[in-house]
Each structure stands twice: as structure tokens, then as C-alpha cells.
């Protein structure tokens, strides 16, 4: 590329001016795709019933995502000294050319808006479409986190078995346990890839430009924009959690293999497992708060409805409060069972994981583990408190149910 030249946002210009030793792709392909999307958008100006917002968004996404990504890839492929002029030109794409092109697209959209009715509907329809595509991915991301969180402790359990077997000289048993850790790793990796693939297929959307809407139109668009942003944030957070679990399990797999080969200190491996045990205990304790909180709220509402029923003189009012009381009673029972099951399963999981670790190493009087047991006790204290909550609220539920049964 000639020094000082100002690049043009065109695939043919890039191919002709990039320089012989600079690779044409991926920028050439990205520019061609953008040119096609831009042309499709510009055609909508002359089409009476065109979906202009969707075409505008598609073009802007190609420019803002694909072209920028391709420019970065081209810069990375360049040799700093040999291709310094090409790098300078590519940087101009990012600093000057692409921002100017975005502004031009916005201007074209305003022209479309001035000629056509129904632009708001077009925009809202496009956003609804994005939300419909994102919703199942958000649901999948949540399910993936739960599946990986439930499976991951099996790797630490296997690691504990490896250390126990190695301490007894049972190399075969240690190998079997290490294989179990590897299988857990494969499960988490498969879950991670499935979610990753789903996210890759998700529509890429440009943030809603509210400046292009009249004040009276912004409320509906803002609501949809918030829904879309919430889904995107959920997907991003859940993906990050799955990646975190994947790294943890991969570490456990590696430790298990090293232990079978005698190349890792047992105590160091178990410290990592115990720390994950503590984190798991705190996570389970925190999740118990949900049914406990919901149960308390439902019982409070139930009590209020029973009192309101007694004060009401109008039969319709009595029927209304009785119906609400029944709903709150049923919901309280569901949350009561959920809390009971969560406490039982959570305590069993923590106990099983702790018992899988060799007691001759993982013990309270081992100076390395003493402070870790203090942290575990803090987490388990929450379980004890939730046990007390369950006992207290279950008694309240029984009393209120008896009162409800007296309502006529």
C-alpha cells in the first residue's frame, strides 16, 4: 500500500491497493459481504413495503462486527516493518473510514424513515425477532450452568479417590478414578461446546439507536431493548460461569493424572479440591435462600388473606381473599418441599465430597487445612440456620392451613 494513502471501503479497492505481500482475506470477503448488505438496504428506500430497519441493522452489523474484525485480522497478519504502510492504512479504516460509513448508514436510514410509514413497527418486529432467537439460548445457558455445576463435584470426588488409592498402593483403583475425572471433563467440555455453538448462531445486533425515534415511540422500543439486553447479559454471564467450571474440571483432571504418575504432591491437590468444596457449600447455602424466602413471603400473604377474609363483609370480597389464600397456601407447600429437598441434597453432596478425601490428610488438626475447615463451618452454619427456618415455617404452615380449612 502506498504511504499516506486514504483507504476506500471497497473490496475491489482493497484488493488492488493492499500490496502484493499482504493477504487479501479476510478483509476482502468481509467488504464484499458488507457491500451486498448495504446495497440491499439502499434498495429498501424505493420499496413501499420494505422492512427497512432489518436491512439497516444487517448492514450496520456487517460493518461494525465483521469488517472491523477482518481489519484486526489483517493487521495481525502484517509484518510490522515490511507492511508498515498497509498497517497505517488499515488503522485508518478503524479510526476514520468505518465511523464515517456508520454515519452515512444512519443518514440513509433517516431518508428511509422520512419516506415510509411503519418504520417503528419494522424496528419493533426486528427486535422481537432478536428476542425470540435469544430466549432459547438464554434458557440453554442457564440449564448448562446447572448441569455443569451438578457434574463438576464428581471430578473432585474422583480426585479424592485417586489420592486414597495411591496411599494404599492401589494403582489400578487410582487409574479407574482418574478415568472418572476425565469423563466428567469430557461432559463439561461437551456442554461448553454446545452452548458456544448456540451462541455463535445467535443473531448479532447493533444497539438500538433511540435517537432515531420520536419521543412517543421510545417507550415500546425501550422495553424491548431492555429485554434484549437482559437476555444478552444472562447469556454472557452464564457462558463465563461454564468456562470457569470447565477450567476447574480440567485442572482436576490434570491433577488426577499427575497423582497416578506420582508427579504431584497429594496435599497440594487436595487443598484445591477442598477450596472448591467450600465454594460449593456456600453456593448451595445461597441457593437455599430462594425457597426459604419464597416460603416466608407466601405464608405472610396467606396470613394476610385469612385476616382479610374474616374482616370482609361482601361475599365477593370473601371469595377473592379465599382464592388468594389458596394460591398462597399451595405455593408455600411447594417452597417448603423445595427447601426440604435442597437442604437434604446439599448436605449429602458436601458430606459425600468431604468423605471422598483421605481423612489422614484432610483433617482439622492439619495446619494446612485448619483455616479451610473454619470457612467450611461458616458455610455449613447457613444450612443449620435454614434447618431452623424450615422447622419454624413448617409449623406456621401447619397452623395456617388449619385456619384456612375453617373458611367457608
CATH number for position 275: 1.20.58
Same domain, 385 and 307: yes
In this structure, the answer to whether residues 152 and 196 fall within a common structural domain is: yes
> Has residue 323 been placed in a domain?
yes
C-alpha distance from residue 232 to each of 49, 67, 130, 137, 207 (Å): 30, 22, 10, 9, 11
Identify the DSSP state of 265: -
Q: Give the residue numbers spanning the domain of 383.
A: 265-408
Report pLDDT for 112: 67
Within this chain, do residues 224 and 292 fall inside the same structural domain, yes or no?
Answer: no
**pLDDT for position 359:** 86
Q: Are residues 362 and 333 in the same domain?
A: yes
Domain match, 43 and 84 both: yes
- Residues 108-112: what's their mean pLDDT? 72
Closest CA to 158 of 365, 357, 379, 12: 357
Same domain as 170, residue 132: yes
Would the CA dihedral through 375, 381, 382, 383 be positive or negative? Answer: positive
Residue 399 and residue 334 share a domain: yes
Considering the domain architecture, whether residues 260 and 277 belong to the same structural domain is answered as no
Residue 15 lies in a domain: yes
Query: Are 50 and 67 in the same domain?
Result: yes
347 within domain boundaries: yes
Q: How far apart are CA 219 and CA 224, in angstroms?
A: 9
Q: How many domains does the chain have?
A: 3
Structural domain ending residue among the three candidates 264, 282, 297: 264
Q: Is residue 17 part of a domain?
A: yes
Could you tell me the pTM of the whole model? Answer: 0.54
Same domain, 25 and 150: no
Last residue of a domain, one of 55, 84, 116: 116
276 and 401 part of one domain? yes
> Is 162 part of a structural domain of the chain?
yes
Query: How confident is residue 106, by pLDDT bands cut at 50, 70 and 90?
Result: confident
Assess contact for 322 and 309: CB atoms under 8 A. yes
Q: Does the structure show a pLDDT above 60 at 212?
A: no
**323-350 confidence digits (pLDDT tens):** 999 999 999 999 999 999 999 988 988 9
Same structural domain, 285 and 183: no
Residues near 114 by Cβ (< 8 Å), separated by ≥ 6? Answer: none
Whether 186 shows a pLDDT value over 90: the answer reads yes
C-alpha closest to that of 156 among 376, 377, 358: 358
Interval 2-23: pLDDT, tens? 888 889 999 999 999 988 888 8
Picking from 116, 143, 162, the residue at the C-terminal end of a domain is: 116
Amino acid at each position: 500500500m502506498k504511504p499516506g494513502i486514504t483507504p476506500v471501503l471497497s473490496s475491489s479497492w482493497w484488493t488492488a491497493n493492499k500490496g502484493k505481500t499482504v493477504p487479501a482475506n479476510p478483509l476482502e470477503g468481509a467488504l464484499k459481504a458488507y457491500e451486498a448488505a448495504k446495497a440491499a438496504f439502499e434498495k429498501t428506500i424505493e420499496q413501499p413495503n420494505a422492512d427497512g430497519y432489518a436491512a439497516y441493522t444487517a448492514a450496520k452489523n456487517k460493518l461494525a462486527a465483521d469488517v472491523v474484525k477482518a481489519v484486526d485480522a489483517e493487521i495481525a497478519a502484517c509484518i510490522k516493518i515490511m507492511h508498515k504502510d498497509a498497517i497505517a492504512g488499515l488503522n485508518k479504516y478503524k479510526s476514520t473510514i468505518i465511523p464515517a460509513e456508520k454515519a452515512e448508514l444512519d443518514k440513509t436510514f433517516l431518508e428511509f424513515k422520512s419516506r415510509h410509514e411503519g418504520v417503528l413497527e419494522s424496528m419493533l418486529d426486528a427486535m422481537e425477532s432478536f428476542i425470540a432467537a435469544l430466549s432459547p439460548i438464554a434458557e440453554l445457558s442457564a440449564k448448562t450452568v446447572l448441569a455443569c455445576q451438578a457434574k463438576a463435584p464428581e471430578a473432585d470426588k474422583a480426585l479424592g479417590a485417586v489420592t486414597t488409592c495411591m496411599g494404599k498402593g492401589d494403582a489400578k483403583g487410582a487409574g479407574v478414578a482418574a478415568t472418572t475425572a476425565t469423563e466428567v471433563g469430557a461432559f463439561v467440555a461437551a456442554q461448553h461446546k454446545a452452548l458456544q455453538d448456540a451462541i455463535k448462531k445467535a443473531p448479532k445486533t447493533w444497539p438500538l439507536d433511540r435517537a432515531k425515534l420520536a419521543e412517543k415511540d421510545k417507550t415500546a422500543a425501550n422495553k424491548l431493548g431492555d429485554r434484549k439486553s437482559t437476555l444478552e447479559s444472562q447469556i454472557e454471564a452464564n457462558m463465563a460461569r461454564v468456562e470457569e467450571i470447565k477450567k476447574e474440571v480440567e485442572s482436576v483432571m490434570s491433577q488426577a493424572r499427575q497423582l497416578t504418575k506420582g508427579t504431584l504432591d497429594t496435599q497440594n491437590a487436595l487443598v484445591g479440591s477442598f477450596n472448591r468444596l467450600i465454594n460449593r457449600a456456600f453456593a448451595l447455602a445461597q441457593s437455599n435462600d430462594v425457597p426459604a424466602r419464597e416460603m416466608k413471603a407466601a405464608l405472610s400473604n396467606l396470613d394476610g388473606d385469612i385476616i382479610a377474609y374474616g374482616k370482609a363483609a361482601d361475599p365477593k370480597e370473601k371469595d377473592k381473599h379465599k382464592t388468594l389464600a389458596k394460591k398462597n397456601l399451595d405455593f408455600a407447600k411447594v417452597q417448603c418441599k423445595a427447601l426440604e429437598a435442597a437442604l437434604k441434597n446439599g448436605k449429602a453432596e458436601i458430606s459425600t465430597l468431604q468423605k471422598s478425601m483421605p481423612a489422614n490428610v484432610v483433617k482439622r488438626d492439619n495446619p494446612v487445612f485448619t483455616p479451610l475447615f473454619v470457612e467450611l463451618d461458616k458455610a455449613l452454619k447457613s444450612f443449620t440456620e435454614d434447618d431452623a427456618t424450615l422447622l419454624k415455617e413448617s409449623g406456621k404452615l401447619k397452623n395456617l392451613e388449619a385456619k384456612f380449612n375453617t373458611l367457608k
